[in-house]
Structure 1
Amino acid sequence: MVKLSRALFAGVSTLALTLPVLAQSALPQANDSYFLAAQEALVAKEAIQPNTGKAKNVIMFIVDGLSIPTITAARIHEGQLAGVDGESHSLAFEQLLPHTALVKTYTHDSQVADSAPTATAITSGVKSLNGTIGVDQTAALEDCSTQAGATTKSIFEQAEEAGLATGIISTARITHATPAAAYAHTVGRDWEADTNLPEDAVGTCKDIAAQLVDWSFGDGFEVVFGGGRANFMLESQADPEDATRTGARKERDLVAEWQAKHNDGQYVWNKEQFDALDASTARVLGLFNGSHMQYEADRATDAGGEPSLAEMTVKAIDILKQNEDGFVLMVEGGRVDHAHHAGNAARALTDAIAASEALKAAYDAVNPEETLILITADHSHVFSIAGYPTRNNPILGIAGEGDDGKPYTTLGYLNGPGATVDEPRANLTDVDTTDIDFLQQALIPLGSETHAGDDVAIFAQGPQAYLFDGVIEQNMIYHVMAKAIGLNAAAK
């Protein structure tokens, strides 16, 4: 009986091999618009050839909290804002960066990561502990005595030693976790100014802002753009934009120190000064807000306002390109994360779109054949797209009605400020859920929505980008960048 079954199976297989392949014209769906579009996409995919060369430049976009649902919702939102079909729309990076992978974001000590060790994984190639920056797994959180022997070396520090130009950009404070991973080594991510240092760390462990100004690799960063001006100013100094606010430091006027250290550099703090910079600028420190920069939806565009992420990116590239050997640049869209923490999907999506626009501007400003460009996230969020909304339904709109007879939105959060405590769920019947200030409903009440532990995506193009494939560890991102630009043994 067994032999018979095998014979029959073999016969069927042989028969299948001898049947003629069906011509496309014989398929009833051959003229279907979706069928034809997918066929064209396949042809385009087949035309992609891996770029195995060496990169002159590396540009890493880290969009803080850019979960996969955030990408999907931002794609739809951008399309709908443009008056086109949002569901089939594509963000710029989805069109320009053909190589993709899923990225595991767990850290050495946690299933769900924060931005400090994940940024360290991307910039230094190791997994570390939540709350720490630029140190390895042997460090102990906020224990200054464990810091010195645990420091890592970032790709920016390597690049400067190799004679390349370097730059960091963030819409968050430049001393915040993600940009700090380019230059800082600390067991306390919140030690941004000297006033944040615990007593047992004073005099032994240096605050993050001081580490930026004291950074001694190569000739230092050519470009620094972001927020966080207060962490560089003394408590006795009034903020140049708002006299009612002062700096955050007890000691060291770091702006003055930076200016004295770099007599070829320019310090700018508003858009008018930013706009006056040109490609011949040797070095620049731009701090455009006392704390985080404004959300894109709220950003003032006048002379006293703030430059956009795209404007900062292009300006940085123009300056960095003066180095004929190449450059390494980090661009962080830092406030997607903050909007999610606030339970405010509209601002999260707007900032995600701004990051996509910045990537498109970067792509247009370089030779993509010699530039590894990637975009990824440090971690996810408990943000979801749910229900059964009809095609073209506003992504910020109502998806349907719950069993309680009340409407619910397409976008929502598992936890966060949008939840109610010991009260029935709010009735959204007469609420404009598309308003920029609307907070999506959540299940579990928390003052700040949390990160999530699911994988994030990476999109890439350029030299060695083909190595981003399948499911990878987050710290592999560093190793691909270092290989592409020739900064480690893996490049040999």
Structure 2
Amino acid sequence: MKRLTTIFLSGAAVALVTQAAFAQQAPLPQATDSYFLSAQQELFSKLAEQPNTGRAKNVILFVVDGLSIPTITAARIYEGQQRGVDGESNSLSFEKLLPYVALSKTYTHDAQVADSAPTATAMMTGVKSVNGTIGVSQKVTLENCASQKGAEVTTIFEQAESAGLSTGIISTARITHATPAATYAKVAGRDWENDTSLSDEAKQNGCKDIAAQLIDWSAGNGFEVVLGGGRSNFLPETVADPEATDKMGARKDGRNLVDEWKAKYNDGAYVWNKTEFDAVDPATTGHLFGLFERSHMQYEADRAKDKGSEPSIAEMTSKAIDILSKNDEGFVLMVEGGRVDHAHHAGNAARALVDTVAVAQAVQAAYDKVNPEETLIILTADHSHTLTINGYPKRNNPILGIAGEGEDKKAYTTLTYANGPGAKLDEPRADLKDVDTTDIDYLQQALVPLGESETHAGDDVAIFAAGPWAHLFRGVVEQNLIYHVMSYASQIPARAKPEATGSVK
């Protein structure tokens, strides 16, 4: 009888054995080809990868609003070309640092194409919900406050706070906007950002606006870090904005939520510009609240021209981690690149790409700050957009440039939109012969005219991940799986105090 011997090899050992086996093979004619060799090295690297099944002390979730797969490809090429290297073979930081990849299905309970509110809710709470709602389940009725009762769901941030971890949220959009709001708010209407936006029914039934919910949030000792835009939603109509001094706050209930936040924390720092932000010492600051614009923060391409000045998304991420890392129990941080979405809605691919590159820099900054062996890092999108990459442009053609000429004898760009402001009703397609399509303000042409705003798209988006249990992201998955992987990897629910895990009212 033959004896069977089983030999267990580590990933690195498998890679070495494989390389040795490859070396003994008869040489192929393409064996010295540069593409062949680079792919072979990529294979060996993947063979050496070992899944990390330890507990995730920290979780960092990057949500890039509207980051479609064509946006990733275009941003990769753009970033390389801006650096003077080959764009097509370039890689953004998260493509290199976050090796596990899956596709996320973004439909919602009631819609084929999602908006940012229920998709963010799916990632923060593990359930799919209704377009236009935040922090509630499928039981809710859109913009009906009374229907929230019994439909409110608990976020991983609430669970983390009750377990003694630190928490933080960052967004280049208003901090009361859909994605950041999904970490703490429960509303049947995503536009209820301040008291003036509440419906009469919402007021009668006692629903709170989103900004008030952030300040009144009772989970743990509150977010340790909150950085983003949206100052007007926190200031009363009697208080002038510190940057746009001719503008007043938006609130009519008399509450100055910034002052209320300051009164809550004797270890807190409130900032509204980059000078104040830079002066914050993480070693002595327990809570940081930054509101850098009345509404959304500037696009990265325009940030240097901002009157009050504001930090980059990478700078906010770095300082947040410095503060959150002081907690030995760990932390959960959500970072949103919110304005990629806004640039796409405007039909402005250039700004969308610049903001995507800025997020990639933030991922690199985060990775450099933490121990990647004990930190689960995820980058994904809430939904996609209608941006396309088309034509037959030659290698190294500017990604914002001309791809070819249509049957109408007019040039068209590599990047176009299926709909949006780049098409005008009853107007023929413009001739781009003398147009600088690489200009930051250029709006890509579109097929269907849609006034001022292009739409979301319903195609799957990517999930990139690294760290403990990141290997669970594989294949095509439901978007709400993201919460469940974060929860399982971090064991946060098991660490939370049972009496503190209920929904925040």
Bin the TM-score by the shorter chain. over 0.9
Find the aligned partners of 2:331 and 2:460 in 1 and give their Cα distance.
29
Q: Which SS does the other structure have where 2:304 is aligned?
A: coil
Cα gap change, 1:263 to 1:68, in 2 (>3 Å): same
User: CA-to-partner distance for each residue in 1:318-343, whole Å, 9 max, x for gaps?
Assistant: 00011110000000000000000000
Cα gap change, 1:382 to 1:482, in 2 (>3 Å): same
Q: Does 1:211 align with 2:213?
A: yes
Which residue is 2:159 aligned to?
158
Please point out which of 472, 481, 492 is paired with 1:476: 481
Q: Which SS does the other structure have where 1:101 is aligned?
A: strand
Residues 372-411 of structure 1 mapped to structure 2, 5 A cutoff: 372-411=376-415
Which residue is 1:172 aligned to?
173
Residues 165 and 327 in structure 1, CA contact (< 8 A), matched pair in contact too: yes
Which residue is 2:234 aligned to?
232
Please point out which of 311, 314, 337 is paired with 2:341: 337
Find the aligned partners of 1:173 and 1:210 in 2 and give their Cα distance.
14
Find the aligned partners of 2:436 and 2:133 in 1 and give their Cα distance.
40
Q: Does 1:277 align with 2:280?
A: yes
Residues 59 and 330 in structure 1, CA contact (< 8 A), matched pair in contact too: yes
Residues 230 and 246 in structure 1, CA contact (< 8 A), matched pair in contact too: yes
Which 4+ runs in 1 deviate beyond 2 A?
A: 20-26, 300-304, 487-491
Find the aligned partners of 1:477 and 1:489 in 2 and give their Cα distance.
18
Q: Does 1:460 align with 2:461?
A: no
Report the TM-score, using the length of structure 2 for normalisation: 0.92
Find the aligned partners of 1:79 and 1:104 in 2 and give their Cα distance.
29
Measured after TM superposition, the shift of residue 487 of structure 1 is: 2.2
Which residue is 2:60 aligned to?
59
Q: Which SS does the other structure have where 1:394 is aligned?
A: coil
Residues 271 and 302 in structure 1, CA contact (< 8 A), matched pair in contact too: no
Q: Does 1:440 align with 2:441?
A: no
Which range moves more in the overlay, 26-35 or 117-126? 26-35
User: CA-to-partner distance for each residue in 1:248-307, whole Å, 9 max, x for gaps?
Assistant: 100111111111122321110000000001122110110000000000000027893000
Residues 272 and 303 in structure 1, CA contact (< 8 A), matched pair in contact too: no
Residues 24 and 30 in structure 1, CA contact (< 8 A), matched pair in contact too: no
Residues 128-277 of structure 1 mapped to structure 2, 5 A cutoff: 128-203=129-204, 204-251=206-253, 252-277=255-280
Which residue is 1:5 aligned to?
none
Measured after TM superposition, the shift of residue 21 of structure 1 is: 9.9
Structure 2: segments with no counterpart, 5+ residues: 1-20, 497-505
Find the aligned partners of 1:301 and 1:265 in 2 and give their Cα distance.
28
Report the TM-score, using the length of structure 1 for normalisation: 0.94
Find the aligned partners of 1:460 and 1:165 in 2 and give their Cα distance.
21
Find the aligned partners of 1:312 and 1:247 in 2 and give their Cα distance.
24
Please point out which of 473, 492, 497 is paired with 1:487: 492
Q: Which SS does the other structure have where 1:149 is aligned?
A: coil
Structure 1 counterpart of 2:123, one-letter code: I
Which residue is 1:367 aligned to?
371
Find the aligned partners of 2:30 and 2:70 in 1 and give their Cα distance.
30
Find the aligned partners of 2:139 and 2:55 in 1 and give their Cα distance.
33
Q: Which SS does the other structure have where 1:368 is aligned?
A: coil
Q: Does 1:46 align with 2:44?
A: no
Q: Which SS does the other structure have where 1:319 is aligned?
A: helix
Which residue is 1:123 aligned to?
124
Number of matched pairs:
472
Which residue is 2:72 aligned to?
71
Find the aligned partners of 1:23 and 1:477 in 2 and give their Cα distance.
43
Q: Which SS does the other structure have where 1:300 is aligned?
A: helix
Structure 1 counterpart of 2:382, one-letter code: D
Q: Which SS does the other structure have where 2:341 is aligned?
A: helix
Which residue is 1:428 aligned to?
432
Structure 2 counterpart of 1:139, one-letter code: V
Which residue is 1:3 aligned to?
none
Which residue is 1:417 aligned to?
421
Residues 124 and 475 in structure 1, CA contact (< 8 A), matched pair in contact too: yes
Find the aligned partners of 1:303 and 1:324 in 2 and give their Cα distance.
38
Q: Which SS does the other structure have where 1:160 is aligned?
A: helix
Residues 270 and 303 in structure 1, CA contact (< 8 A), matched pair in contact too: no
Which range moves more in the overlay, 348-357 or 255-264? 255-264
Structure 2 counterpart of 1:452, one-letter code: A
Q: Which SS does the other structure have where 2:328 is aligned?
A: coil
Residues 167 and 224 in structure 2, CA contact (< 8 A), matched pair in contact too: yes
Cα gap change, 1:302 to 1:176, in 2 (>3 Å): closer
Residues 273-352 of structure 1 mapped to structure 2, 5 A cutoff: 273-280=276-283, 281-300=285-304, 304-352=308-356
Which residue is 1:9 aligned to?
none
Cα gap change, 1:276 to 1:21, in 2 (>3 Å): closer
Q: Which SS does the other structure have where 1:243 is aligned?
A: coil
Residues 243 and 307 in structure 2, CA contact (< 8 A), matched pair in contact too: no
Which residue is 2:103 aligned to?
102
Find the aligned partners of 1:264 and 1:22 in 2 and give their Cα distance.
61
Find the aligned partners of 2:317 and 2:22 in 1 and give their Cα distance.
51
Residues 65 and 336 in structure 1, CA contact (< 8 A), matched pair in contact too: yes
CA RMSD of aligned residues (A): 1.6
User: CA-to-partner distance for each residue in 1:427-454, whole Å, 9 max, x for gaps?
Assistant: 0000000000000000101120000000
Q: Which SS does the other structure have where 2:270 is aligned?
A: strand
Structure 1: segments with no counterpart, 5+ residues: 1-19
